Amino acid sequence: MPEKIRITEVGLRDGLQNQPVAVPVEGKLALLEQLIEAGVRHVELTSFVRPDAVPQLADAAQLVDAAMQRGLASRLDDCMALVPNMKGYERAHAAGVKSVALVLAVSETLNVKNINMTLDQASGICETVTRRAADDGVRVRVYLAAAMGCPFDGPSPPARVQALAARMIDAGADRIAVADTIGAGHPQDVPALFEPLMRAHGQARIAAHFHDTRGLGSALAWQAALCGVRQFDASIGGLGGCPFAPGASGNVATEDLAFLFEHAGFATGIDLDRLLDVLDTVEALLGRRHQGRVAAWLANQRTKRRAQAAQINALSS
């Protein structure tokens, strides 16, 4: 049996939060459905932040409700929503969300810019929200943002990431997503960051979230896989970026990571041909071409396979 790699699709949140076009609920549902058809089972659907801070995701409650009504949420193993504070948690809980993602930047300044709190305040709020979620039976994942560098404060010390990860797991978080929010990381920095986290908490608890700002997203993911990481975030077509973290470009593309790992013999459960269809939908919704690297090559291969199949059919009929 091939070893599994879990890819969590964050395009609907991390991807769409930074687009000039606000995608309507129906468009988001169409995207979600196609991603599910392609085999995606872990999704970050939206975020319950201030609607005026991120208008692209102001329909969070409506989207969650529609995903449940249409039977899409129940086809997922994890349907997460990001919450920045207790108010966001309460809105998500009221909407029926069973899995939340909290955000804690490991640097001082990004917390202020992103969620208007100091690191100390943000850590405290994360603990409080995590405990409350545990009481409600809601799963918690904590993003440790800017884990490889902050646009304001520079490089992030791995020891700080480790201390915050341990603190959040103690508070009841079931997963930590180590996030290179602005794509500041280099593959050679990955072992010092991830090896101690994997030793301390294991594969089930640690996920890696890379951005492809400098074209190193896949290399970072591969290096993290060599350190034992088996859970990765990605966004279809490499959509993404954070409006509050200057310099952040899109996440590493789902199709690039699925290709990287499938080609190495891991099982992601994702059908690459079907992802190509999802990319067409992304383009139709946003009016621009995706940023992923492998899609053009995959499309070429698909065309060749189809031409060969047509030839064989013609010969046998």
Q: Which residues bind Zn ion (CB under 5 A)?
A: 14
Least separation, in Å, of the C-beta of 180 and Zn ion? 8
Q: Which of Zn ion, ligand COA, none does residue 87 bind to, with CB < 5 to 8 Å depending on kind? A: ligand COA
Does residue 170 contact residue 130 with C-beta atoms inside 8 Å? no
Q: How many CB atoms lie within 10 A of CB 312?
A: 10
Which residue, 18 or 231, is less far from ligand COA as judged by CB? 18
In the complex, least distance from residue 246 CB atom to Zn ion, rounded to whole angstroms: 14
Question: Is the CB of 14 or the CB of 189 nearer to Zn ion?
Answer: 14
For the bound state, the minimum distance from the C-beta of residue 39 to ligand COA, rounded and expressed in Å, comes to: 26
Task: Give the nearer residue to ligand COA in terms of CB position, either 17 or 218.
Answer: 17
Pick what 127 binds: Zn ion, ligand COA, none; C-beta below 5 to 8 Å, kind-dependent: none
- Please provide residue 142's backbone torsions phi and psi, each rounded to the nearest 5 degrees: -110, 125
Q: Residue 266 burial (CB < 10 Å; 0-12/13-18/19+)?
A: middle
Residue 16 contacts residue 285 (beta carbons within 8 Å): no
53 or 66: CB nearest ligand COA: 53
Backbone angles phi, psi at 110, to 5 degrees: -65, -35
- The residue whose two tokens read 């975020």 is 47
Do you know the residue count of the chain? 317
Cα(153)–Cα(298) distance, rounded to whole angstroms? 39
Give least dist CB 178 to ligand COA, A: 14
Q: Which residues pair with 44 in a beta bridge?
A: 80
List, by residue number, the catalytic residues.
242
Residue 304: name its binding partner from Zn ion, ligand COA, none (Cβ under 5 to 8 Å by kind). Answer: none
Q: Which residues bind ligand COA (CB under 6 A)?
A: 17, 47-50, 53-54, 84-85, 87-88, 91, 103, 114-116, 242, 244
